[in-house]
Chain A
Amino acid sequence: MADLVDKGTWVEIRRVVLGPGERAPQVPENTQQVPLEMRVKGFLFEPVRLGEEAQIVTSAGRRLRGILMEINPAYVHGFGPPIPALSTIGGEVRALLHARRRGP
């Protein structure tokens, strides 16, 4: 069984706000079929295990409940590898400028 996560740990919780079939009538079919989910980070209010119901205190001081999903969640967004379709634009444009400045 997973260990208890300490009170005061920075975590993320998840909660289903609206289940499939409870969605607003104007949303398209593919959205109707999935839940509206919420994820919020905060400091764990009392020790629980991953996957259990937890309470957090958010940065705004609110107490929220949800399933404990992650401990000290990482920021994973980045850039990724260069995109070949962009890589040569700089050189092409500099060549156009160079040709214009050299004159006809």
Chain B
Amino acid sequence: MIREPGYEEIMSQRSEIMRMSIGLDYEQYATGALAFDYERLLADTGYDVDTTYEVQRATAVGGTPLVELNNITELVRAIAQPGKGARVFLKDEAANPSGSFKDRRASLSVHEAKKRGYHGVVAATSGNYGAAVASQAAKAGLACIIVQEAFDSKGIAQPEIAEKTRACEAYGAEVIRLSVGPELFYMFLSVLKETGYFNASLYTPYSILGIETLGHELALQMRELTGRFPDIVVTTHAGGGNVTGTTRGLRKAGASQTQMIAASVDLSGLHMASDHDFNRKSFTTGHTGFSIPFTTWPDRADVPRNSARALRYMDRFVTVTQGDVFYMTEVLAEVEGLERGPAGNTSLAAAVAISRKLDEDRTVVVQETEYTGAGKHPLAQLNLAKQLGIDIRRGDPRENMPGHAIVIPEHPSQIEVVDVDLDRIRRSYLRNAVGELREGEELSETDLEFLAEETRTNRAYVQEVLDEVHRKTG
């Protein structure tokens, strides 16, 4: 058996490897024990919206269609109270070169890597982002290595990730497929160290600024189509980049009144580092296994400071069930003629429930789709679920139980959103923040101000929660 040398050694060099592979000195943005100058970190990259558009146009990224889902709107009105049922629109991000909005994130990273003279890029991702980085690297002539968590200890690959492996390899990338576990990070670091390639993390400023054009385009397209900015944008929420970048783009277009609703698939009860649960999730992203930990502590990412800070941007955070998403994926194909997903359809399912409660003259935008295909499809996921003994049936989606039962609604009126309590999320964020303090370290005025911005609250709120934490921990 061949064993990997130097696990501890690599992990202890984490900061150094990060600095070399991103070429960004995060330290210089620190303004307190916890606080850092987030806006300056982003601004110093030099990518404003116009520059980003220019970079993205050169590789056919962005400029995706926005389409009104009139049949889904009609369906919502059929189940809503009279006068209710907002118009539902969809931004068809599957029209990007590698089939998802992740091309926007990859474009600036790869552009930056090339500009700085790196010979290749590395990304740790099992999702569309891998294909996006591989596609952009192919165009830029850079080598590309993608590190995926791909299969369980029985060798069973998650079908959606198997498709990403194929796509990355099709774009000429080396794909390192790993079994389940967070030690993927070690492999990622060791590849960065060995190759000296650029860390095309999902969470650098480039990756987030690349998404701003999505929100920006969407706002302008809605104004052209309906005469005004959208009332609500629903975003599938996982690591926080999509919520962060899209909201920033909306604001830059002037759509400052548009409400941002983050939506995730509820996967409660399943453990994200569990070999047993890995293939029982039926979803690989857009779920609470990512969104809850990342919203309550974004800096658990593969960069020193995460540029995706979702709690700063969301107005509301909701969950839907696995069954709801599979149902709406089917509806989107059958009445709108768009076979897409799965990821964007999490926000589509939420949009149906949200639109139903709003007046008819309001507008709701589902802000992404992604390509579909072998493995990346409800049939592939549900066939695997069946094989693993998960019960699949029609019924009340409230009976859906991740890992045990996927309950497909019997009627669209059964699709509901469950609100995640933002107060609890904020408290959890603040507890995590205090947990990061080193022994004897105190919070300054700047830190308290920073925490208020991070949680979209105020000094009094932050102080009250911190006092409570102190009382509990003695």
Q: Chain B interface (Cβ within 8 Å of chain A)? A: 1-4, 7, 71, 74-75, 77-79, 120, 143-145, 150-151, 153, 157, 159, 162-163, 165-166, 169, 172-183, 186-187, 194-195, 271, 273-276, 326-327, 330-331, 333-335, 374-375, 377-380, 382-384, 386, 392-394, 408, 411-412
Of chain B, the residue at the smallest CB distance from A18 is B183
Contact between chains at B145 and A100 (CB < 8 Å): no
A96 within 8 A of B: yes
Contacts of B159 on A, CB cut-off 8 Å?
77-78
A92 to B283, CA, bound (A): 25
Q: Which one of A30, A40, A42, A65 contacts B177 once the chains associate, using CB atoms below 8 Å?
A: A40
Given contacts A28-B271, A77-B375, A78-B375, contact A90 B181 (CB under 8 A): no
**A 71-97 binary contact with B (CB < 8 Å = 1; else 0):** 000011111111101100110111011
Q: Mark A14-25, 1 if CB is under 8 A from B, else 0.
A: 011111001110
A75–B174 Cα distance when bound, in Å, is: 15
Residue contact A90 to B335, C-beta cutoff 8 Å? yes
Contact A97 B162 (CB under 8 A): no
Q: Which 3 A-B pairs have the closest CB atoms?
A: A90-B334, A80-B383, A77-B375
* A100 pairs with B334, CB closer than 8 A: no
Chain B minimum-CB-distance residue to A53: B2
Known: A30-B275, A62-B195, A77-B159. A23 touches B181 (CB 8 A): yes
Q: Is the CB of B374 within 8 A of A93?
A: no
Q: How many residues of A contact B (CB 8 A)?
A: 52
* Contact A85–B273 (Cβ < 8 Å): no
- A60 touching B173 by the CB < 8 A rule? yes
The listed residue (A67, A79, A93) touching B335 by CB distance below 8 A is A93
Chain A: interface secondary structure?
mixed
* Cβ contact within 8 Å between A38 and B335: no
Q: Which residues of B contact A92 (CB under 8 A)?
A: 411
**Interchain CB contact under 8 A, B174 and A90:** no
Chain B CB count within 10 A is highest, among A27, A58, A94, A101, for: A27
A37 contacts B74, C-beta separation under 8 Å: no
Residue pair A27, B383 in contact (C-beta under 8 Å): no
The reply to whether A37 and B383 contact each other, CB–CB distance below 8 Å, is no
A39-51 Cβ-contact flags toward B at 8 Å (1 or 0): 1111000000000
* Pairwise interchain contact B177-A38, C-beta atoms closer than 8 A: yes
- Contact present for A34 and B275 (CB under 8 Å): yes
A-B residue pairs in contact (CB < 8 Å), sample of 14: A17-B3, A18-B4, A28-B271, A31-B273, A31-B275, A35-B179, A59-B172, A77-B157, A77-B375, A79-B383, A86-B327, A89-B334, A89-B408, A93-B334
Contact A36 B379, beta carbon cutoff 8 Å: no
| Contacts known (A24-B183, A28-B274, A59-B172); A16 close to B3, Cβ less than 8 A | yes
